[in-house]
């Protein structure tokens, strides 16, 4: 194995913000006062918040030190399954920080915001093309917000038809956000079990699909990294009983230019721009979760819609069947700029190539590690593969121990203990932006760790040893929560 990436380094300790500074300092250049002071009625005056006073350098060092305790895609491989931690191109950041975009007020008259509206309009067309759908809204602020929007559209569709349905079918492999989005919308999730191949069977769905079921919510490719091969037949069954088929498109990175969801029976789906379209994850957002729909669901999309009229773009409000508004303004516009830039830089061939290489990387890892780790579904995968800790159980080594040990080797661990259908799951999604050398090094690290599990299991039990902190006491954190200082 090549020399491990993980090494020691000098990390500086840094206290909490309010343990620093001195009253009277300031890290902010206050603008010139060019008007007279004017006092506010005492009745409304507060004391002002108790913030620490810090100099600019105090603030700069504070956050620079904190940043150094973090690991990002720019630091190293971050194969968090289901999260698509691909490289976020730097030019995207540059475009999103153009003053014409950052400074734009959301309520500007449309005549003064043509560039933004033009981009939103074009971007919706691009997503329509990639998904094979008819229309798209960019208003949802994240993937789960898109799911909620989708459920609201399903609800509005049935209401318009005069039918009241109470259930949505959701497979056991679903993201936790799926059942939560379903119930937030007043529906009851009805679980359906995937078959021994890890996918949905036509029969399982037909047994529970009925006239009280509003639709089905399928992640495709699913969270085992497998393509739902029976999707067209399943869609037929759901449609025959008047239901709609929702696709959680969080895993679209596997099939861009290979599969158009609109062509295979999907009625509506969300995309996660922070996954498939390379916008950075920001330590937990902001993301963006556009929803694309087939023609029969267009009337229900959130308002306003961007439309083209006489060569200009305007915001149209008049859609009486619309579900209304899902964000205050136009959604995460700043994120959309980055995804738009990505699609323009990639073009159609490279988008398809990205999906192919994402699938190549995942299958390569699956093949290279399947002797080392237990592979519960030994079939060709899409963009991610799911192992388990079954082989290491005899050595009393769990997924958690291997994940923590990977840190010492300089890798972010994969997603662990998800999907729930695989006990001790290790879900690896390398993405297409990782090179063969980096993937080989990741594979070698995992193999080395599996060896250590036999020879020196304590190394794993006590991992990580090279991070800023050791394993943390999460139980006490939850029992006696300390959420503010």
Partner 1 sequence: MIYLPHTHEDIFSMLQVLGVDNLDDLFSTVPEDCRFNGHLNLPEALSEWELNDHMSTLSNTMAVSPEYKVFLGAGSYEHFIPASVSYLLGRSEFVTSYTPYQPEMSQGTLQAIYEYQTLAARLLGMEVATASHYDGATALAEALLMAVRITKRKKVAISSLIHPLYRRVVQTYFEPAGYEVVELPYLNTGVTDDSGLDDMDDLAAVAIQSPNFFGCIENLQVLGQKTHDKKALFVASFTEALAYGLLKNPGSQGADIVGGEGQSLGINSSFGGPALGMLASSKKHMRSLPGRLVGKTKDLDGKTGFVLTLATREQHIRREKATSNICTNNSLCALAAAMYMASLGGTGIRKLAQLNHDKAEYLKKELKKAGFTITFDRPTFNEFVVEFPSGFEANHKHLLEKKIVAGLCLAPYYPELANHYLLCVTETRSKDDMDALVREVKS
Enumerate residues 311-370 that contact partner 1 by CB under 8 A: 323-335, 337, 341, 343-354, 356-357, 359-361, 363-364, 367-368
Can residue 72 be called a binding residue for partner 1 (CB under 8 A)? yes
Q: How far is the CB of 394 from partner 1 (least distance, A)?
A: 25
Can residue 49 be called a binding residue for partner 1 (CB under 8 A)? yes
What is the pairing mode between strands 385-388 and 167-171? unpaired
Interface residue with partner 1, options 4, 121, 134, 189 (CB under 8 A) = 189
Contact 270, 248 (CB under 8 A): yes
Q: How far is CA 70 from CA 65, 196, 434, in A?
A: 9, 39, 20
Question: Measured between alpha carbons, how far is 361 from 432 in angstroms, rounded to an integer?
Answer: 7
**Which H or E element spans position 190?**
strand 188-192
Interface residue with partner 1, options 59, 204, 315, 459 (CB under 8 A) = 59
Can residue 152 be called a binding residue for partner 1 (CB under 8 A)? yes
Q: Give the interface segment with partner 1, choosing from 84-92, 203-211, 236-244, 446-454 (CB under 8 A).
A: 84-92
Can residue 378 be called a binding residue for partner 1 (CB under 8 A)? no
Residue number with CB closer to partner 1 (141 or 314): 141
Interface residue with partner 1, options 3, 35, 310, 455 (CB under 8 A) = 35
Strand partners, 363: none
Name, in order, each residue with C-beta under 8 angstroms of 178's C-beta and a sequence gap of 6 or more. 147, 170, 189, 217, 219, 248
Residue number with CB closer to partner 1 (206 or 356): 356
Question: Measured between alpha carbons, how far is 87 from 342 in angstroms, rounded to an integer?
Answer: 11
Residue number with CB closer to partner 1 (19 or 394): 19
Residue number with CB closer to partner 1 (223 or 388): 223
Contact 417, 424 (CB under 8 A): yes
Residue number with CB closer to partner 1 (75 or 456): 75
Q: How far is the CB of 375 from partner 1 (least distance, A)?
A: 14
DSSP-based three-state secondary structure for 195: coil
Whether cis (ω within 30° of 0) applies to the bond prior to 184 is no
Interface residue with partner 1, options 135, 217, 267, 274 (CB under 8 A) = 274
Residue number with CB closer to partner 1 (74 or 454): 74
Contact 332, 288 (CB under 8 A): yes
Take residue 331 and report the two structure tokens written for it: 């959604």
Count CB-CB contacts under 10 A for residue 399.
24
Question: Measured between alpha carbons, how far is 466 from 483 in angstroms, rounded to an integer?
Answer: 26
Question: Measured between alpha carbons, how far is 42 from 124 in angstroms, rounded to an integer?
Answer: 51
Q: Give the interface segment with partner 1, choosing from 83-91, 200-208, 239-247, 391-399 (CB under 8 A).
A: 83-91
User: What residues from 91 to 150 belong to the interface with partner 1 (CB under 8 A)?
Assistant: 91, 93-109, 111-116, 118-119, 126, 129-130, 132, 141-145, 147-148
User: What residues from 160 to 179 belong to the interface with partner 1 (CB under 8 A)?
Assistant: 175-177, 179
Interface residue with partner 1, options 4, 121, 180, 321 (CB under 8 A) = 180
Residue number with CB closer to partner 1 (89 or 215): 89
User: What residues from 195 to 234 belong to the interface with partner 1 (CB under 8 A)?
Assistant: 226-227, 229, 231-232
Can residue 456 be called a binding residue for partner 1 (CB under 8 A)? no
Please count the residues of this chain forming the interface with partner 1, following the rule CB under 8 A: 203
Q: Give the interface segment with partner 1, choosing from 201-209, 236-244, 384-392, 412-420 (CB under 8 A).
A: 412-420
What strands, in cross-sheet order, belong to the sheet with 244-249?
135-137, 291-293, 268-271, 244-249, 213-219, 167-171, 188-192
Interface residue with partner 1, options 1, 12, 74, 393 (CB under 8 A) = 74
Take residue 62 and report the two structure tokens written for it: 């504070």
Q: How far is the CB of 48 from partner 1 (least distance, A)?
A: 4
Q: Give the interface segment with partner 1, choosing from 205-213, 236-244, 278-286, 293-301 (CB under 8 A).
A: 278-286
Can residue 457 be called a binding residue for partner 1 (CB under 8 A)? no
Q: How far is the CB of 293 from partner 1 (least distance, A)?
A: 16
Count CB-CB contacts under 10 A for residue 357.
17
**Which H or E element spans position 119?**
helix 114-131
Q: How far is the CB of 42 from partner 1 (least distance, A)?
A: 10
Can residue 52 be called a binding residue for partner 1 (CB under 8 A)? yes
Whether cis (ω within 30° of 0) applies to the bond prior to 221 is yes
**Which H or E element spans position 65?**
helix 56-68
Can residue 436 be called a binding residue for partner 1 (CB under 8 A)? yes
DSSP codes, 343-377: HHHHHHHHHHHHHHHHHHHHHHHHHHHTTTSB-SS
Question: Measured between alpha carbons, how far is 254 from 107 in angstroms, rounded to an integer?
Answer: 37
Question: Measured between alpha carbons, how far is 293 from 236 in angstroms, rounded to an integer?
Answer: 17
Question: Measured between alpha carbons, how far is 279 from 381 in angstroms, rounded to an integer?
Answer: 24
Interface residue with partner 1, options 3, 41, 309, 458 (CB under 8 A) = 41
Residue number with CB closer to partner 1 (384 or 434): 434
Residue number with CB closer to partner 1 (40 or 394): 40
Q: Give the interface segment with partner 1, choosing from 58-66, 236-244, 291-299, 452-460 (CB under 8 A).
A: 58-66
């Amino acid at each position: 194995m090549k020399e491990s990436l993980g090494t020691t380094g000098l990390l500086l300790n840094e206290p909490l913000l309010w343990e620093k500074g001195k009253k009277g300092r300031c890290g902010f250049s206050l603008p010139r006062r060019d008007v007279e002071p004017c006092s506010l009625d005492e009745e409304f005056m507060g004391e002002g918040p108790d913030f620490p006073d810090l100099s600019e350098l105090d603030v700069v060092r504070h956050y620079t030190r904190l940043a150094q305790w973090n690991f990002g895609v720019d630091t190293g491989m971050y194969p968090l399954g289901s999260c698509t931690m691909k490289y976020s191109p730097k030019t995207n950041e540059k475009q999103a920080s153009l003053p014409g975009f950052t400074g734009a007020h959301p309520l500007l008259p449309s005549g003064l915001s043509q560039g933004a509206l033009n981009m939103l309009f074009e971007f919706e067309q691009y997503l329509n093309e990639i998904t094979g759908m008819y229309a798209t809204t960019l208003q949802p602020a994240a993937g789960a917000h898109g799911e909620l929007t989708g459920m609201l559209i399903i609800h509005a569709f049935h209401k318009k038809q005069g039918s009241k349905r109470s259930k949505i079918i959701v497979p056991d492999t679903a993201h936790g956000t799926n059942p939560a989005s379903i119930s937030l919308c007043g529906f009851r999730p009805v679980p359906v079990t995937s078959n021994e191949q890890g996918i949905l069977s036509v029969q399982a769905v037909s047994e529970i699909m009925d006239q009280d079921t509003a639709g089905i919510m399928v992640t495709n490719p699913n969270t085992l990294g497998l393509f739902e091969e029976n999707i067209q037949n399943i869609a037929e069954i759901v449609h025959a009983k008047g239901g709609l088929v929702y696709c959680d498109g969080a895993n679209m990175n596997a099939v861009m230019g290979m599969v158009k969801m609109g062509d295979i029976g999907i009625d509506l789906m969300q995309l996660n721009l922070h996954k498939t379209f390379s916008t950075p994850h920001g330590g937990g957002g902001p993301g963006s979760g556009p929803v694309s729909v087939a023609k029969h669901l267009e009337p229900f999309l959130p308002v306003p819609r961007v439309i083209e009229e006489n060569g200009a773009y305007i915001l149209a409000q008049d859609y009486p069947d619309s579900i209304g508004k899902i964000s205050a303004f136009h959604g995460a516009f700043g994120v959309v700029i980055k995804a738009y830039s990505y699609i323009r830089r990639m073009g159609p061939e490279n988008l398809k190539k990205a999906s192919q290489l994402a699938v190549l990387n995942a299958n390569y890892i699956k093949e290279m590690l399947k002797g080392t780790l237990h592979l519960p579904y030994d079939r060709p995968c899409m963009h991610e593969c799911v192992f388990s800790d079954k082989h290491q159980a005899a050595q009393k080594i769990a997924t958690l121990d291997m994940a923590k040990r990977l840190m010492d080797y300089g890798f972010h661990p994969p997603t662990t203990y998800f999907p729930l259908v695989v006990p001790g799951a290790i879900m690896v999604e390398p993405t297409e932006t990782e090179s063969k050398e980096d993937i080989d090094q990741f594979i070698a690290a995992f193999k080395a760790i599996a060896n250590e599990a036999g020879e020196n299991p304590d190394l794993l039990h006590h991992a990580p040893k090279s991070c800023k902190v050791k394993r943390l006491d999460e139980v006490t954190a939850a029992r006696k929560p300390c959420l503010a200082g």
